Amino acid sequence: MSDPLGKAPIVAPGHTAGSVTDKISSIVFERTPRWWWAAFGASFLLVMMLLHSLTKLLFTGVGIWGINIPVGWGFAIINLVWWIGIGHAGTLISAILLLLRQEWRTSINRFAEAMTLFAVACAGIFPLIHVGRPWLAYWLLPYPNTMELWPQFRSPLIWDVFAISTYATVSALFWYVGLIPDLATLRDRSVQRWKKMLFGAFAMGWRGSAVHWHNYEVAYLMLAALATPLVVSVHSVISFDFAVGQLPGWHATIFPPYFVAGAIFAGFAMVLTLSIPLRRLFRLEDFITLRHIQNMAKVMLATGLIVAYGYMTEIFMAFYSGNQFEEFMILNRIAGPYRLYWWALILTNVLAPQAIWLRKVRTSPALIFLVAMFVNVGMWLERYVIVVTSLSRDFLPSSWGTYSGTYWDWSLFIGTIGLFLALIFLFIRFLPMISIFEMRTILPGAKGNPE
């Protein structure tokens, strides 16, 4: 199925609906590979670290963190924004590329959607623990209560509650609906009865009848059309947390588009980080081809350029505004106490991705992986710079302060990385990591595809 542009095929030649089904479902049915235990074990240890830190936090309070007055946000918000941003690539790949009829998305969308779910789960931890008394976090929700209190709907923090919970719910629905036909495949291919029952229960009696598919395709397309504006709204709302505030460096109209681009940038970096080793370990090079890796790298480069443009606009606007606080904010970023973070940010987010212009880098999954790792770090640094430099140096020198994360800040952050990886490893072990039924549709001879 080579297209007129002469690009590499999306699926390696020689595959049929049967072979695609067998290959992808065999990953679920085969014996657990030894590397899986090692990888899962390592991430599980980090989950234990996360639980330890959470326990310590619940018994002691947020005083164990580095937050102070004036830097009251710190790691919790940095990590929230970082994780949510990572999640956005999953929705972009599954929804926006579906609407744009980018068939190459098919072999990575399931996996990217799972990544979204787990990233949002990690993100969700931080605002909950940041409220200090997480057992009262339900106060954020509007519900009739004996205190006769209602949330204040003019606040971006309440918008966040609605945006993130809707995003988590819709992502879960999208992922599950996408899984149903594949769960039916696993049900039909299970040998043991208990597996048949388990997959069968989640497949809900899917038969793949014409009526089923008809309603299914429409519903799936509708979900994609709903998820597309949703994903843009979520990161815009998160940027409002900053932009609606009045601090120099936060109060900028460029924030929503700049944050959305940054989210996609970070998300594609994470999809690359995960898919490059996994395609190797599971020998999925036939399905996740070099063309997929290259396409994702190009999206990463494009969104990276938008982000770089955002940085330049911030600098330009600071001086163009003639506002002394804005000017000071930028100079403080470049040469102030947190200058190392800012320069590292420029290195990782602006300079490193430029390597993708080179064909040599673009054709080497290992080098693309390296660039993606730079971006993963860089996007975290970006949020660090935004949160910390602005809060620590506001309008009045008498209220200035300094900030650095404590052990507990780091252990919680690294612990969520462990949680994320552990969930990813469980997912690829127990569920088909590539959408089998969608792979069947892009094979030669399927539907109206040329033989």
Q: Catalog residues that contact another protein under the rule CB under 8 A.
A: 16-18, 21, 142, 148-154, 158-159, 162-163, 166, 169-170, 173-174, 176-177, 181, 184-185, 187-189, 200-201, 204-219, 222-223, 226-227, 229-230, 233, 237, 240, 437-438, 440-441, 445-448
Q: How many CA atoms lie within 13 A of 397 on its CB side?
A: 2
175/342 with CB nearer another protein: 175
290/446 with CB nearer another protein: 446
CB of 266 to another protein, least distance (A): 22
CB of 124 to another protein, least distance (A): 15
8/141 with CB nearer another protein: 141
Per the listing, tokens 């996609």 go with 264
Q: Dig out the tokens for 320 from the structure.
A: 């163009």
CB of 215 to another protein, least distance (A): 5
CB of 11 to another protein, least distance (A): 14
Q: Dig out the tokens for 88 from the structure.
A: 């956005």
230/423 with CB nearer another protein: 230
230/330 with CB nearer another protein: 230
CB of 204 to another protein, least distance (A): 4
Residue 323 in 3-state DSSP? Answer: coil
CA–CA gap between residue 124 and residue 118 (Å, rounded):
10
163/381 with CB nearer another protein: 163
Burial state string for 390-428 with b = 16 or more CB within 10 A and e = fewer than 16: bbbbbeeeeeeeebebeebbebbbebbbbbbbbbbbbbb
CA distances from 350 to 34, 41, 242, 278, 341 (A): 38, 35, 22, 27, 13
CA–CA gap between residue 182 and residue 109 (Å, rounded):
14
159/420 with CB nearer another protein: 159
CB of 228 to another protein, least distance (A): 10
| Contacts for 274 with CB less than 8 Å, ≥ 6 apart | 111, 115, 424
Question: Is the separation of the CB atoms in 410 and 404 below 8 Å?
Answer: no
CA–CA gap between residue 440 and residue 131 (Å, rounded):
47
32/152 with CB nearer another protein: 152
Q: Cα–chain-centroid distance for residue 81?
A: 10
Helices (H), 244-289: 255-281
Q: Dig out the tokens for 170 from the structure.
A: 């819709």
81/297 with CB nearer another protein: 81
CA distances from 345 to 269, 307, 377 (A): 15, 11, 8
Q: Dihedral of CA 131/136/141/147: which sign? A: negative
Amino acid at position 203, single letter = A
Q: Cα–chain-centroid distance for residue 109?
A: 12
CB of 242 to another protein, least distance (A): 15
CB of 232 to another protein, least distance (A): 11
Amino acid at position 377, single letter = V
| Contacts for 349 with CB less than 8 Å, ≥ 6 apart | 265, 304, 307, 308, 311, 374, 375, 378, 379, 381, 382
CB of 57 to another protein, least distance (A): 29
CB of 255 to another protein, least distance (A): 14
172/334 with CB nearer another protein: 172
